[in-house]
Structure 1
């Protein structure tokens, strides 16, 4: 079975580089067929509007003819372009969809399962000698603001959200028994997938890139064979003994040398075969 994975498509931001008559659904579906993928995993940040994200996932699954599994990213929760201010309402919508992995581990066979959650940042990867928790909670660095401050409202602290999602993930991992696991989160859960410190900006900004507390899962559940992450706009594979960590982010067009969508999708989309 061939698994494909990609994240951070940002189809609304990147759409200006689509060719005439082209769409993300068409381009990604073509690549799925070209690479002979049986199941696609998307690790969040499809768009800034939950209904646009939902429509994309359903259309791409229909056009490609394969199942798609998904965990939302912080952008998928944004209330920038719609009237839902309570992030829990958007979260509840995603959880009802067939593509959602949250509270719904996907059993492939007797040997393999897929478990996922969006995850939420817990400030753990930032420089705590330079900044306090209260400063991270303000989400303000010099004149720049982390936009989740404006567009996401969980009604609790970031660390509380992160802990709840960690508890959900732990519960789901226990449900799959002794199977080997493909773990998928939106946020980074490994120190090699955030920016090395010290760094003038990321001493602060790393607070919002990952959840350091999730690292405990790798010791608690040695059955995690693949760990898929998004959010960081990196394309990276790290092998540690029998476990593979990876990010397959399309990211923001500003970081592309070649602005052709199909080329960038092809570079981003990673595959691996289950045996």
Structure 2
């Protein structure tokens, strides 16, 4: 069984790189078929509008003919065009979709399951000795603002959201029994996937890239693969026999070429599971 992994497509902000009549859905479908992928995992940030993200998911699912499994990223919770200000309502919208993994782990076979949740940031990768929790709650450093401050509205502090999602993850991990697990989150869950400290900017902004409290999951559950996004890295790491994968398309300003298809081919990672 061939598993494909991709994240952070940002199809709206990257749209200007497309040729006339070209779409990211068509590029991705072409690669799914060309590479003979059986299941595709998308680790969030398809776009900065929840309805546009779901439309993309529906199209790729219908035209590819394979399971497309998804966890929303922070940008997928945005609703600038539609004016939706209740993020919990958007979360529930995604939760009700058949390709969303939250509260519905995907059982591949008797030996493997896929468990997913967006996750949220708990400030654990920021410099706790330099900044207080109150300062992290401001989500602003000098003239730089973490944009979720403007566009995401949970009605509670970020650390509370992170713990709530951690609890959901644990419940889903427990539900799949003794199967080996592919875990998918949007936020990163390993310190090697944030910017090394000290750093004059990321001493602060690393706080919004991942959750150090999620690291305990790897000691408690049989996680073999950990799929992440959010940081726009293309990086893999094997640590304690766990395969960590971050396969982000990311923003076009970080691309090595000007060709969206070449960049998707470069970002898309695959691995095989025994049947």
Q: TM-score range by the shorter chain?
A: over 0.9
Q: Does 1:253 align with 2:252?
A: yes
Paired with 1:257 and 1:55, the residues of 2 have a C-alpha distance of: 28
SS in 2 for 1:103: coil
1:1-275 alignment runs, 5 A limit? 1-221=1-221, 223-275=222-274
**In 2, are the aligned partners of 1:6 and 1:43 still within 8 Å (CA)?**
yes
Paired with 1:35 and 1:234, the residues of 2 have a C-alpha distance of: 22
Instruction: Write the deviation string for residues 101-129 of structure 1: whole angstroms up to 9, x where unpaired.
Output: 00001001000000000000000000011
Compute the displacement of 1:144 (Å): 1.0
**In 2, are the aligned partners of 1:48 and 1:81 still within 8 Å (CA)?**
no
Paired with 2:202 and 2:144, the residues of 1 have a C-alpha distance of: 13
Compute the displacement of 1:241 (Å): 3.8
Compute the displacement of 1:244 (Å): 0.3
TM superposition outliers: structure 1 runs of 4+ over 2 Å: none
What count of residue pairs does the alignment treat as equivalent? 274
Compute the displacement of 1:142 (Å): 1.2
**In 1, are the aligned partners of 2:247 and 2:267 still within 8 Å (CA)?**
yes
Paired with 2:43 and 2:229, the residues of 1 have a C-alpha distance of: 5
Compute the displacement of 1:79 (Å): 2.6
Query: Unmatched 5+ residue regions in structure 1?
Result: none
**In 2, are the aligned partners of 1:25 and 1:63 still within 8 Å (CA)?**
no
SS in 2 for 1:228: strand
Tell me the C-alpha RMSD between the 2 structures.
0.7
**In 1, are the aligned partners of 2:256 and 2:263 still within 8 Å (CA)?**
no
Task: Using the TM superposition, name which of 146-155 and 75-84 deviates more.
Answer: 75-84
Compute the displacement of 1:242 (Å): 2.4
TM-score by length of 1: 0.99
Query: Unmatched 5+ residue regions in structure 2?
Result: none
Compute the displacement of 1:173 (Å): 0.3
Paired with 2:168 and 2:137, the residues of 1 have a C-alpha distance of: 23
TM-score by length of 2: 0.99
**In 1, are the aligned partners of 2:197 and 2:203 still within 8 Å (CA)?**
yes
Task: Using the TM superposition, name which of 90-99 and 252-261 deviates more.
Answer: 252-261
Paired with 1:162 and 1:176, the residues of 2 have a C-alpha distance of: 22
